[in-house]
Structure 1
Amino acid sequence: MTSFGREPGHALLGPYQEGTVLGLTSPERANALLLGIIEAASSGPHVEPLAAAVARLITDATATDVCFVHVLDDTDRSLTLAGATPPFDQYVGEIQLPIGSGVAGWVASHREPAVIVERKEEDPRYMPIPALRGTDYTSMASVPMESGPSGLVGVLNVHTVRRRQFTDRDLQLLGVIGRLVAGALHQARMHRKLEARERAHERFAEQVIGAQEAERRRLAGDIHDGISQRLVTLSYHLDAAGHSITAEPELAVEQLALARDLVNLTLDEARAAIGGLRPPVLDDLGLAGGLASLARSVPHFEIELELDDDRLPEHVEIALYRIAQECLQNITKHARATLARVRFRVHRGTAWLEVIDDGVGFDVQPAPSVDPHSPGYGMQSMAERAELVGGRLRVISRRGSGTTIIATVPLPATDADPEDA
């Protein structure tokens, strides 16, 4: 217990002072709190059970009425209520605060404690959340949960019904608790991210296999219904020409002309089938040439091009080409646009692809659409293509203001922008 800077036999952070909200009146309570935190941290690798246990321990140890444990989400841009004492535990996972919003968001942004003794509605940092019934509580204290190795993990809030004057010792105690649980919560967050990534990889593997099988069926159908049937018809024309070449030369010439037309048409279909597997233009002209060729194949709206000539690894060029192809197909089907811009550049070791249109736009949903007629339906496959090559996809759109799709892929050092050398 000496690691907390006190001598044996003294209470954690000093004796409880009259009029102080928090405090541990004996070494026994300090030991009980530490043992409770250790037990909670070792109970399992999940964020919510750990946060719930911490909330209960804090209210018991500090004589406060309610505790909220807000934990950074996986984007590190907002806080999610991960643990709370009853009756507010029913809102775990449902309350979110952007960093900088509300008292907890302010604490996360500034990395320093905040105290409101009374009239919290008059504090500019306070943001009422009806579900948490802030008006039922007079005083509150909020401290960041952080440690050296893990950095900021979340924020602890405690509230009291009666007016309380939080002291420096009170905040020190909450800070110590926050540091004690920060490491365990950080590990739980990493475990959650790993589980989510594994689930995403499993879903993606299933989708890739499904897409491969669907593509094989499509190609088999194209070959059977198109190329194979035309070759059969071609053989009939050649047979007819062979039988009539001496007796009816004019008929033979007619049959050979029809055969020639079928040969040309079959060649076109074969090239289209090959292009569906691997666009040959990428081999000859690279991504810039492929995007230019792709733009020429879209007659429904004007397309402006800003394309660098940089060559990329083959798998990156294919991924970005397919993303651009899906974007232009979505614009054609859904956007009712008159103008689109396709930009490709390599800057500071990253490949950038932007497809922008002036169409009707749509409301970006947090989850991918399951409606194949929705403009958001192809977003998941595009995002997964980008992630498969180590990149990411960003979608910016709202109704009436067009859509911007940005794909970024970090490149190996040998493929980085020469300006960075």
Structure 2
Amino acid sequence: MTGAQPLELLAGRGTDLLVRIVGVACSARELPRMAEELAGLVVRSARELTFCDVYVLGEDERVLEWSGPPVPLGEGDVGWVAAHGRARTHADGRGAAIPVHSGGTVIAVIDVRSAGPPPPEDLALVTALAALFAPVLCSCRRLRSARERERAAERFAERALEAQEAERSRLSREIHDGIAQRLASLGFHLSAAERALPEHHPEGLAQIMMARRLCELAAAETRAAIGGLRPPVLDDLGLSAALATLAREAGDGPGPSGPLDVTVTVEGELEDALPDHVQTALYRIAQEAVGNILRHANATCVELLLEHSRDRVRLKVTDDGTGFSVRDVVGRGRGRRPDSYGLRGMRERAELLGGRFTVTSRPSAGTTVEAVIPVPGRERDPVTPSRGPGPN
């Protein structure tokens, strides 16, 4: 069959078939859905074919994939056709496996069945369709490879963040149980020494008081280090309560425009608790956003929204402050303001977890920052069952 004959054969079946082919090819389906759509198109277009399955060569080029168990190259009629690049009739005579070629390589196999021996015109139709399916399936395979690489990169970033968070938690516990406890004990003994020292030793008393102040300063720095490694409030209370504590602390402080009214709203529930690194990222984003508001916004009201859904969690922080030009603050080049580093840090935290971060603001209209992060393990859609009796 020459290169022009497939189109001539398909055109002979009427324009409806060509329209259906174009419709499926442009449907933006991904594998394996595209393979199933093409299989359905074969059955609808043929006269006596009753079943069809499209097997697509896997990423490792060792197996053919469909909705059932993978078929190794060389195994059964489908595997044999993929390995040898030639069509093969089934042993019972009621169907055939036909290769889909692209650049001299078999990238898929169309397996068709019928109640009796398939009419030659139906097999010719399937061969013609295979020539048209080739570029569609090539695009789908490239897209699948790109998505798999993207998911692998996301999994790597997630594992790196999990390992980093575990190490931070370990260091936080060691500092809390070690250095912090030693400093607390030291402070106790210095207080006891101060009380026991006679009043006629002013120089010794002064040295003890100096040592106490240094001990208190070291204890404060230790607490700050612990909070920087892993916010204790997350371990003690969880993300929702930690945000409430953050809001209360921000509202208690003297803002530049007077008291700051900070409210927290939590919507929806997750069946399982969020991973530690996700909770930490969301808390840090909220902490940075509220800190920016206290430093720059001159706001009187702040709203924090934490929204859980089946496959994602959304954090939204809105204020009624002075606002700013997003382009001027986060724009590239020499004109970028130094306070853009906080916004960039929030964006990086969200994107490292496969999420997205947006900031909306304009002068005199307040600011909204939003982070949406997928929940690990819940982003996959169910696969539609395939047609046909399975490989041969």
TM-score using structure 2 length = 0.46
**Larger RCO (CA within 8 A; separation ≥ 6):** 2
TM-score using structure 1 length = 0.43
